[in-house]
């Protein structure tokens, strides 16, 4: 598929192609895919990674299907477009591949950019090559920007039409989990205090293990669920936990949480809906300073939507608007390091009413920020009507 060779037949009728780079970008397209299928269009959703194919592909509605995006080389792009013949292309965020964009535009399919963002750093890079930026952006019919600042930067770089729609991430449905599995794990945990360290990276697991050891002094029955961003790091995480004397069970091995389990390693893809439902408190990874300098934070919206109190480190630039909104509503809180994380967790374990108030504030905040899907669908309505009329002729 990366070479443009389709593994599925093209369905009859009108087809809308939606593309997002990885898990996050792919998930924001799901509400649009649902709405398009409801309107009678087929929806081709492409991403570029195995993890996104597994997670996004499993959540697509009937009438939508997944393929890998072709490599951005003319031969592969032409092969891909010859087969799929999209009537409309919707790219998420900042996916501006020259050959894909040029060839799609040349074939007459309108190209729309949704959840569009342009960070100050990216803007400065593009400003150094203004002709290249303009040549790409002029092929986009309309860009639906996340914010006023994103819209202004896109316009200055040459985007012909920009509308502010907000962030589609707030409209993504909560990740699923079967009630039976939730009930099974809830039974295993019982009344023990539990928290989840979500989407952790190298260095953060060690911090979480130290936090667990500190909290055990006051909460000896504590269960810490560690859900690494890359489940394939499971073996090294287990060894790190054992080095600190902690007892570990693994989801990938279908091990249970028994009375001796201290760390539960959630080393699988596509189960964050389960862990957020089990743990009323979530720490979001990639947000604490570490030896790799890999920072920027991960998406807190799913955790907040599912009623978890959210904690995070100081580095959250990748989802700054969401964290500002949640922090401002009292639904999330920042910690500077492992010591502060331990203190915050202790406070929430000891004050159930406070934890529940944070959770309620999170649910309410996310609901208030919804609506970008409606604004995008309204904006692309003229294209959908035109496509439908062409198909009727």
Positions annotated as catalytic residues are: 25
**DSSP string of 46-112, one letter each residue:** EESSHHHHHHHHHTPPTTEEEEEPPPSSHHHHHHHHHHH--SEEEEETT---HHHHHHHHHTT--EE
Residue 280 in contact with residue 359, Cβ under 8 Å?
yes
CA pair distance 220, 124, nearest whole angstrom: 51
Secondary structure of residue 120 in the 3-state scheme = helix
DSSP-assigned letter for residue 174: P
Position of tokens 């074939």? 107
Q: 104 and 86 in contact (C-beta within 8 Å)?
A: yes
Query: Under the phi-then-psi rule, with left for phi > 0, alpha for psi from -120 to 50, and beta for the rest, what region is 53?
Result: alpha
Identify which of 298, 293, 321 has the alpha carbon closest to the alpha carbon of residue 311: 298
In Å, how far are 64, 191, 259 from 187, measured between CA atoms?
36, 9, 11
Distance CA 106, CA 114 (A): 20
b/e burial code for range 44-60 (CB count within 10 A of at least 16 → b): bbbbbeebbbebbbebb
DSSP-derived letter for residue 318 is G
Q: Are 45 and 64 in contact (CB under 8 A)?
A: yes
Q: Residue for token digits 């792009």?
A: 77
Q: Do residues 92 and 376 lie in contact, with contact meaning Cβ atoms separated by under 8 Å?
A: no
Interacting residues of 212 by C-beta distance below 8 A, sequence separation 6+: 222, 224, 246, 262, 263
**Are the C-beta atoms of 198 and 283 separated by less than 8 Å?**
yes
């Amino acid at each position: 598929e990366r070479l443009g060779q389709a593994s599925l037949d093209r369905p009859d009728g009108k087809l809308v192609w939606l593309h997002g780079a990885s898990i996050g970008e792919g998930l924001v397209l799901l509400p649009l895919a649902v709405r398009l299928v409801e309107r009678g269009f087929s929806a081709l959703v492409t991403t570029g990674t195995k993890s996104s194919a597994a997670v996004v592909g499993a959540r697509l509605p009937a009438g939508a299907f997944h393929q890998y995006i072709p490599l951005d080389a003319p031969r592969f792009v032409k092969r891909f477009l010859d087969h799929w013949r999209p009537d409309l292309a919707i790219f998420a965020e900042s996916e501006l591949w020259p050959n894909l964009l040029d060839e799609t535009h040349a074939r007459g399919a309108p190209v729309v950019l949704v959840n569009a963002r342009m960070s100050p750093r990216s803007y400065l890079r593009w400003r150094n090559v203004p002709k290249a930026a303009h040549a790409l952006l002029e092929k986009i019919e309309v860009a639906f920007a996340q914010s006023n600042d994103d819209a202004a930067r896109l316009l200055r770089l040459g985007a012909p039409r920009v509308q502010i729609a907000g962030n589609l991430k707030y409209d993504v449905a909560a990740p699923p989990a079967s009630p039976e599995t939730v009930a099974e794990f809830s039974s295993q945990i019982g009344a023990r205090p539990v928290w989840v360290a979500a989407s952790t990276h190298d260095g953060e697991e060690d911090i979480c293990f130290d936090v667990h050891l500190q909290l055990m002094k006051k909460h000896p029955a504590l269960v810490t669920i560690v859900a690494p961003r890359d489940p394939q790091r499971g073996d090294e995480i287990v060894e790190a936990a054992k080095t600190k004397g902690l007892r570990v069970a693994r989801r990938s091995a279908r091990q249970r949480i028994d009375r001796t389990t201290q760390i539960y390693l959630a080393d699988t893809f596509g189960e964050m809906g389960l862990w957020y439902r089990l743990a009323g408190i979530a720490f979001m990874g990639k947000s604490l300073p570490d030896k790799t300098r890999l920072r920027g934070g991960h998406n807190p919206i799913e955790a907040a939507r599912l009623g978890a109190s959210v904690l995070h480190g100081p580095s959250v630039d990748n989802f700054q608007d969401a964290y500002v909104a949640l922090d401002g509503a009292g639904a999330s809180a920042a910690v500077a390091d492992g010591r502060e994380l331990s203190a915050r967790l202790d406070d929430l374990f000891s004050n159930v009413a406070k934890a529940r108030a944070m959770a309620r504030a999170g649910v309410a905040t996310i609901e208030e920020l919804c609506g970008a899907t409606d604004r995008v669908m309204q904006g692309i309505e003229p294209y959908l009507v035109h496509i439908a009329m062409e198909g009727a002729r």
